[in-house]
Structure 1
Amino acid sequence: MITGEPNESDVLEPVSKTAVLSLHDRIIGDIERNILSGKWPPGTRIPSEHDLCGDYDCSRMTVNKALSELARSGLIERRRKAGSFVMRAPSRTAALEISDVRAEVEELGAAYRFEILTRRRRRAGRMDAGRLEGIGDGPLLDLTCRHWAGDRPFCIEERLINLTATPEAVDEPFADTPPGSWLLARAPWTSAEHRIAARPAGVRPAALLDIALGACCLTIQRRTWSGEAPITYVQLTYPGELHELVARFSPSHR
């Protein structure tokens, strides 16, 4: 039993909340400096929580709190099972133009690649009539393509091509050129329509884009025609936080 007044060495100092916050701020400040100085360019993988705990001799809760705050500020993005990465600037699409996904990715300074996930030649059905007006029961090429920016899925492309208008598409392997770029070069269009919406990610888009189920996505539905003949219908689905639409226009004079 300890009797009398305690010695200074017998007293346990309470954990200083200020010290914890100071360490939390130090982690944030160090990561911010690495990003803003350009030492860690967009797309760079941040050291893991385990590594940061070792570097700063702190708890995982402190590191997690710091990374969560950096994510909320828009400096980093946290991906399930992959870790944390320096946020890329949002890609931009001109709302009144037909953009090329490859060009969008290259403007970000990221390496571009794509993969054809599904490909099927079939006859148009009733649901296709609303997407490609006037196609009837004509032949279609039904494609699903995933585009990448570096090691991150960039968008999903779900496309129908009218094979009556572009019969050469049936033999095109799309090995080196994605479907959208191929059509822009081979099938000149005379009119187009865009429908733009924000939608929650379903099971398949969430898995293909490596985002949370229900996360906000930007979808662009586009139809193009050559004269009266429909050429293609496409739906592009982007992670909402990484994409924005820009339109530049002048006042109308009546």
Structure 2
Amino acid sequence: MADIGGRTQTLHQRILDDIEGNIVSGQWPPGHRIPFEVDLAAQYGCSRMTVNKVMTQLAKSGLIERRKKSGSFVTRPQAQSAVLEIADIEQEVRSLNLRYAFRLERRQVRSATQADLRALETKQAEDVLAVACIHFAGERPFCVEDRIINLAAVPGAAAEDFSKTPPGRWLLGEIPWSAAEHRIQATAATAEMAAMLGVAKGCPCLLIERRTWSDAGTITYVRLTYPGETHSLVARFTPASR
């Protein structure tokens, strides 16, 4: 009986690892129908009860959704960002138990335009570094980052190619910021944004605009665009003193 129990536990972990691996790797994307329990039991040569326990565990962890009479489906994970914090996008992705990656789309050092000066809310910038990249959760685009860095405040950024380290993480590690401002709004994906996010044109998106400052002036202005159905914002606060 002990041997049987040990074998059952091993099968349970094997099935769990296999399904989690398919989900986390992106091989089974959100909405994918997972094989029926009876089919998984036949595949692994175990009882349906063993498979049912695995599916229950996956549902509790939020990786799958069980629908009566329809089967089990990979859920669309929803990330949460703290409104009053500057979050690391990689940490947001890894909190979903998904593999993180990013891809640099463009990088350009240029003379600051009037639009750049308005975005940075400064008149001091002469040159800026414009950077755009796509962050991925598994195989799917997680968000698009479109950033302007004030080289008068962060001259060292001009020497960084940002092909291996995302600009947001680099800035957090290189220069202390003293103030930040968030502006949050809903927007519809343009044709270019839709192509980068892998969604339909006009798809509802969540746009976070952020400026950060240091004693040297405005550090950066960034636009982070997320597919609306996969992201939410959380704010924690206490009552203002009277």
* TM-score, with length taken from structure 1: 0.68
| Residue 123 of structure 2 corresponds to residue 131 of structure 1 | no
* Counterpart Cα distance in 1 of 2:119 and 2:106: 19
* Counterpart Cα distance in 2 of 1:166 and 1:231: 7
* Counterpart Cα distance in 2 of 1:135 and 1:141: 16
SS at match of 2:81: strand
CA contact (8 A) 2:84 2:235 kept: yes
Query: In structure 2, what is the equivalent of residue 105 of structure 1?
Result: 93
* Counterpart Cα distance in 1 of 2:17 and 2:228: 25
The correspondence for 2:215, drawn from 227, 243, 247, is: 227
Amino acid at match of 1:155: C
CA contact (8 A) 1:88 1:108 kept: no
Amino acid at match of 1:230: T
* Counterpart Cα distance in 2 of 1:217 and 1:199: 5
Query: In structure 2, what is the equivalent of residue 153 of structure 1?
Result: 141
Moved over 3 A (4+): 37-43
Q: Which runs of 5+ in 2 are unaligned?
A: 1-15, 40-63, 67-72
Amino acid at match of 2:226: Y
Deviations 1:129-159 (A, max 9, x none): 2211224451100011100011000000000
| Residue 81 of structure 2 corresponds to residue 93 of structure 1 | yes
Query: What RMSD over aligned residues (CA atoms) do the two structures have, in Å?
Result: 2.5
Q: Which runs of 5+ in 1 are unaligned?
A: 1-36, 56-73, 77-84
Deviations 1:108-131 (A, max 9, x none): 111111111011100111111221
* TM-score, with length taken from structure 2: 0.71
Amino acid at match of 1:124: A
Query: In structure 1, what is the equivalent of residue 160 of structure 2?
Result: 172
SS at match of 2:200: coil
Query: Alpha-carbon deviation of 1:86?
Result: 1.8
- What is the total number of aligned residue pairs between the two structures? 188
* Counterpart Cα distance in 1 of 2:79 and 2:217: 31
Mapping 1:1-254, distance limit 5 Å: 40-41=19-20, 42=23, 43=26, 44-45=28-29, 46=32, 75=65, 86-227=74-215, 229-254=217-242
Identity value in percent: 46
Amino acid at match of 1:96: L
